[in-house]
């Protein structure tokens, strides 16, 4: 007679099936192991079994018995490490079920417990849960902080999955901030991890897609879809099918492939209806647009009444849902739905919209907001938001988005008539309030904003770049571009070329002579002094200029007029200054209202 399997043997079988890419067999074995461990009174094995079950949960799908199983073990465990892991799993469970309110207390407990343990793997897991449960539109500053902490915690871990999760969060936050350098760094790190495991290879291919679509590199789309499908067949990716539909659907949308959009929109709609997923229903409306089926777009929007929109959870999908619904409503001229969404979305003007996990980018909120205002007859607001969206698309090279919006009508940013009060001050949280009266927006902490603040506080006054840069640069003397020996060699070469030109005026000799002369001249400053490079003053000039240029670009995205004003009136160099406009003065508010009231 065959001996019954033990909890330990069932756990081993589950892990083997998981490693082999068999999700169904792995989850069945984890479920059996949990039951057997309960019978055996083995709380450690039962903990491992329910945590294994949690790994297989799909996003945006009702979790069934999973939260009950997790909580039953969580309520019995006293060990801080195990309790932290279970709390993190419970947090993700409720996040994936679109219940962020239930998720947050578990995530914060997991993080609190993990911070008291000397276990970077546990800390990385807790930070991941904290990030997932604080994914709402108002929690971006907190996500930035936690994403950096997660990257630090996971940097030296052997487990590639922990490092992968850290890079995925880094990529997602970079998309939210439209930080192109960080997006490319994170993407490259994910692709390197893809060489270690098929699971990472799936994320490498799927997350590469929106970056390639951003720069209109459509030729690589079929290859990326094929790579993601092959990787999904070799590893357990609970949401692989949905991601693959997403890749195919949006690629077809951007390519204008109505036939494929029709096929994929059908799949989107079927999933949205079967599981009651608002985000997928909103995305289905967009893909139906690509198919040219206005009737289906209207059908998808029918579920988004004003009451439903007001009750959408402020989680990872909130901006996505609002963006897609507004996009679709404007496209079919549904003014009632557009007006209902506009009230909710307009406070988030200037935000980048990326769906869960950076699978696809949906542009910036100013884009559909501008077209909604145009639909409702608010021309000034439409022009202002349209100009802000175009400035963003220009900055990041989003050609498809830029061209579509350009073709939608003329861009005209209204100049302010009488109200020229403008704000630029740092909040206690570290964020900056920027913009004109009645249309301020928030930017993350940037050195360039601090530099501008210093210049605005001393208008028409030179401020040394060294003073602005502070500890950004290390003091050192400049190094001469050309030393004495180099100058002698170049002068001798120049004399030799001059002699040759007297004998033979050939074009190539003249080009060589001009090149040597230019290089020699570059080694001298005004007055014949040797030119130096790398000095503290020069390094400060470069650092301050780069920081101010970056800050001006972000300001122009939120308020094109204010961005132009600052660009025209701020001078950078070894000495920097803000030159006030006497004919059109701007009244600058450089401290928070609470700071001024306290005086």
CATH classification at residue 546: 1.10.10
| Separation CA 356–CA 175 (nearest Å) | 11
Flag whether pLDDT at 1 surpasses 50: no
Of 352, 383, 406, the last residue of a domain is: 406
Q: What integer pLDDT is reported at residue 527 of this predicted model? A: 44
Whether the pLDDT of residue 68 is over 70: the answer is yes
pLDDT at 477: 47
Number of Cβ within a 10 Å radius of residue 444: 14
Distance from C-alpha of 204 to C-alpha of 567, rounded to nearest angstrom: 38
How far, CA to CA in Å, does 9 sit from each of 41, 45, 295, 316, 409? 15, 10, 55, 38, 66
Q: Are residues 17 and 80 located together in one domain of the fold?
A: yes
Q: CA-to-CA distance for 467 and 458, rounded, in angstroms?
A: 13
Q: Higher-confidence residue: 97 or 418?
A: 97
**Per-residue model confidence (pLDDT) at position 475:** 47
Contact 289, 328 (CB under 8 A): yes
Selected residue with higher pLDDT from 13 and 439: 13
Q: Provide Rg for the chain, Cα atoms.
A: 29
Give 303-322 pLDDT, tens digit per residue.
999 999 999 988 889 999 99
**For 254-267, how does the pLDDT look when each residue is reduced to its tens digit (9 = 90+)?**
999 999 999 999 99
Q: Is residue 496 part of a domain?
A: yes
Instruction: Report if residue 253 sits inside a domain.
Output: no
Q: Is residue 47 part of a domain?
A: yes
Range(s) of the domain holding residue 32 = 7-231
Query: How confident is residue 599, by pLDDT bands cut at 50, 70 and 90?
Result: very low
Residues 46 and 84 in one domain: yes
pLDDT tops 60 at residue 522 = no
**Residue, of 440 and 371, whose pLDDT is higher:** 371
Domain match, 81 and 162 both: yes
Domain boundary among 466, 493, 525: 525
Same domain, 66 and 97: yes
Number of separate domains in the chain: 4
Q: Are strands 421-426 and 587-589 parallel, antiparallel or unpaired?
A: parallel
In this predicted model, which residue has the larger pLDDT, 53 or 474? 53
**Quick one: average pLDDT of 147-162?**
92
Same domain, 504 and 443: no
HEC states along 55-86? HCCCCCCCCCCHHHHHHHHHCCCCCHHHHHHH
**Per-residue model confidence as pLDDT tens digits over 448-490:** 999 999 999 999 999 998 888 876 544 444 445 556 666 677 6
CA atoms within 13 A on the CB side of 475: 4
Whether residue 555 sits in one domain with residue 446 = yes
Calculate the dihedral angle through the C-alpha atoms of 120, 124, 129, 131, rounding to the nearest 10 degrees. Answer: 130
- Against a cut of 0.75, is the pTM above it? no
- Calculate the average pLDDT of the chain: 87
């Amino acid at each position: 007679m065959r001996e019954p399997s033990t909890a330990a043997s069932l756990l081993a079988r589950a892990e083997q099936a998981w490693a082999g890419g068999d999700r169904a067999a792995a989850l069945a074995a984890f479920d059996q192991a949990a039951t057997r461990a309960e019978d055996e009174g083995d709380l450690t094995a039962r903990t491992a079994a329910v945590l294994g079950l949690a790994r297989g949960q799909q996003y945006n799908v009702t979790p069934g018995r999973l939260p009950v199983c997790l909580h039953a073990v969580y309520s019995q465990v006293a060990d801080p490490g195990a309790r932290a892991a279970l709390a993190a799993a419970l947090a993700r469970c409720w996040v994936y079920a679109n219940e962020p309110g239930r998720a947050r207390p578990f995530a914060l407990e997991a993080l609190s417990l993990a911070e008291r343990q000397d276990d970077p793997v546990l800390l990385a897991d807790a930070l991941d849960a904290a990030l997932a449960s604080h994914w709402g539109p108002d929690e971006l500053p907190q996500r930035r902080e936690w994403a950096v902490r997660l990257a630090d915690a996971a940097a030296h871990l052997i487990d590639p999955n922990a490092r992968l999760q850290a890079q995925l969060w880094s990529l997602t936050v970079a998309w939210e901030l439209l930080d192109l350098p960080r997006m490319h760094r994170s993407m490259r790190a994910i692709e390197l991890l893809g060489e270690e495991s098929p699971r990472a290879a799936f994320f490498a291919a799927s997350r590469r897609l929106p970056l390639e679509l951003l720069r209109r590199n459509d030729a690589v789309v079929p290859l990326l879809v094929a790579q993601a499908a092959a990787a999904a067949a070799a590893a357990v990716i609970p949401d692989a099918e949905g991601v693959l539909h997403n890749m195919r659907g949006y690629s077809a949308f951007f390519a204008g492939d109505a036939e494929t959009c029709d096929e994929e929109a059908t799949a989107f709609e079927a999933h949205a209806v079967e599981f009651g997923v608002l985000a997928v229903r909103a995305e289905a409306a967009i893909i139906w647009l690509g198919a040219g089926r206005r009737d289906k777009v209207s059908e998808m929007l029918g579920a988004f009444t004003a009451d439903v929109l007001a009750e959408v959870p402020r989680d990872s999908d909130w901006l996505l849902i609002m963006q897609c619904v507004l996009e679709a409503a404007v496209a079919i001229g549904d003014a009632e739905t557009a007006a209902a969404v506009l009230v909710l979305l307009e406070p988030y003007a200037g935000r980048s919209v990326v769906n869960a996990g950076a699978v696809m980018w949906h542009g910036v909120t100013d884009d559909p907001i501008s077209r909604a205002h145009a639909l409702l007859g608010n021309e000034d607001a439409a022009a202002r938001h349209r100009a802000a969206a175009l400035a963003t698309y220009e900055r990041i090279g989003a050609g498809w988005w830029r061209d579509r919006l350009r073709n939608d009508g003329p861009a005209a940013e209204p100049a302010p008539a009488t109200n020229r009060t403008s704000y630029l001050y740092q909040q206690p949280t570290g964020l900056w309030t920027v913009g004109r009266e009645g249309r301020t927006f928030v930017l993350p902490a940037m050195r360039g904003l601090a530099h501008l603040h210093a210049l605005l506080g001393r208008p028409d006054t030179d401020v040394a770049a060294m003073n602005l840069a502070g500890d950004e640069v290390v003091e050192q003397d400049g190094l001469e571009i050309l030393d004495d020996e180099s100058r002698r060699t170049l002068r001798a070469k120049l004399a030799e070329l001059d002699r040759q030109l007297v004998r033979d005026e050939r074009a190539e000799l003249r080009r060589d002579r001009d090149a040597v002369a230019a290089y020699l001249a570059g080694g001298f400053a005004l007055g014949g002094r040797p030119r130096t490079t790398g000095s503290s003053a020069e390094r400060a000039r470069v650092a301050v200029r780069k920081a101010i240029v970056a800050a001006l670009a972000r300001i122009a995205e939120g308020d094109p007029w204010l961005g132009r004003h600052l660009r025209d009136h701020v001078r950078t160099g070894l000495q920097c200054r803000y030159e006030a406009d006497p004919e059109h003065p701007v009244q600058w508010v450089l401290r928070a209202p609470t700071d001024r009231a306290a005086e």
